[in-house]
């Protein structure tokens, strides 16, 4: 089993739609969780951190389910500019500094 | 703050040549990382550093070397370039286990 798994997509959705991505992780001792956004041929940029209680930033909502070992990202009212690859990132357990990146989920928002 | 800067942005090398990819951060982060990303693939950790004078191997260190003489700088050295090292190289930094900030990347082609 991969340490972090994501559905690669692509997810093709119309403008205004709501779309959700899930990401599963294998190590129950993982400490912190993030969603990053990567545009084509650009560097990854932090979209939001994921907290145990769930958190929201405008149209974006992130959830963490430690019992089932997954995190989710919900995007409401999709915009054309949301088209990108979304990377799930899990930080290391104690004793290692390796951040685990998922391979990403591609989203394409259609006009 | 400039954040994380990388030079050069693009480079073409011939097989067997060597080069150094530069990375500098001005956020006083203690942790720094080098990743490579092949087309359509996820990020792979090459080397990381948890502070000046301390470096360690990641998943794919063969063919690369690093040094960390200051908090700000973390250069990546390629010795005897091979076509398999054609990739996009990203440098990143973080304050311990917090979110990573990425540089804009160096696109390297080895012919």
Task: Spell out the per-residue pLDDT of chain A, length 111, in tens.
Answer: 788 999 888 999 999 999 999 999 998 888 889 999 999 989 999 999 998 888 999 999 999 999 999 999 999 999 999 999 999 999 876 666 678 899 999 999 999
Q: How many CB atoms lie within 10 A of CB A3?
A: 14
> Percent of chain B, pLDDT > 90?
88
Q: Which pLDDT score, from 0 to 100, does residue A94 have?
A: 61
Q: Which pLDDT score, from 0 to 100, does residue A11 have?
A: 94
Local confidence band at B6 (pLDDT 50, 70, 90 cut-offs):
very high
Helix or strand run (H / E) with residue B45:
strand B43-51
Judged by CB atoms closer than 8 Å, whether chains meet at B42 and A101 is answered as yes
Report helix, strand or coil for A68. Answer: coil
Q: Which of A43, A91, A101 sits opposite B97 (nearest CB)?
A: A91
The tokens of A69 are what?
Answer: 């070992």
Q: Which pLDDT score, from 0 to 100, does residue B5 have?
A: 97
Q: Which pLDDT score, from 0 to 100, does residue B97 have?
A: 76
Q: Which pLDDT score, from 0 to 100, does residue A1 have?
A: 72
Minimal CA separation from A17 to chain B, in Å: 26
Judged by CB atoms closer than 8 Å, whether chains meet at B105 and A102 is answered as no
Q: What is the dihedral of CA B70, B74, B75, B80, to 10 degrees?
A: 120
Q: Which pLDDT score, from 0 to 100, does residue B12 have?
A: 97
Minimal CA separation from A48 to chain B, in Å: 9
Measured between CA atoms, the residue of chain A closest to residue B42 is A103
pLDDT in tens, B47-103: 999 999 999 999 899 999 999 999 999 999 999 999 999 999 999 999 887 889 999
Report helix, strand or coil for B49. Answer: strand
Placement of tokens 């104690």 in the chain: A94
Report helix, strand or coil for A67. Answer: coil
CA–CA separation, A60 vs A109, rounded Å? 15
Cβ-based contacts of A101 with chain B (< 8 Å): 42-43
Judged by CB atoms closer than 8 Å, whether chains meet at A104 and B31 is answered as no
Cβ-based contacts of B33 with chain A (< 8 Å): 99
Say which DSSP state A73 is in: E
Judged by CB atoms closer than 8 Å, whether chains meet at A31 and B48 is answered as no
């Amino acid at each position: 089993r991969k340490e972090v798994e994501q559905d690669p997509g692509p997810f093709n959705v119309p403008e205004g739609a709501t779309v959700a991505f899930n990401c599963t992780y294998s190590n129950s001792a993982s400490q912190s969780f993030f969603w990053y956004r990567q545009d084509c041929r650009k560097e990854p940029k932090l979209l939001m951190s994921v907290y145990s209680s769930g958190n929201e930033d405008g149209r974006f909502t992130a959830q963490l389910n430690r019992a089932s070992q997954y995190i989710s990202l919900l995007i409401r009212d999709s915009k054309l500019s949301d088209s990108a690859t979304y990377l799930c990132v899990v930080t290391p357990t104690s004793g290692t500094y390796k951040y685990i990146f998922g391979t990403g989920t591609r989203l394409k928002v259609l006009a | 703050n400039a954040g994380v800067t990388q030079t050069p942005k693009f480079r073409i090398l011939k097989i067997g040549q060597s080069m150094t990819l530069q990375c500098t951060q001005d956020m006083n982060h203690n942790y720094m990382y080098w990743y490579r990303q092949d087309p359509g693939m996820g990020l792979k950790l090459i080397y990381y550093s948890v502070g000046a004078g301390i470096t360690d191997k990641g998943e794919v260190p063969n063919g690369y070397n690093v040094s960390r003489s200051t908090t700000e700088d973390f250069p990546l050295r390629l010795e005897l370039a091979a076509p398999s090292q054609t990739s996009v190289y990203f440098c990143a930094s973080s304050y311990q286990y917090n979110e990573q900030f990425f540089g804009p990347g160096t696109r390297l082609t080895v012919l």
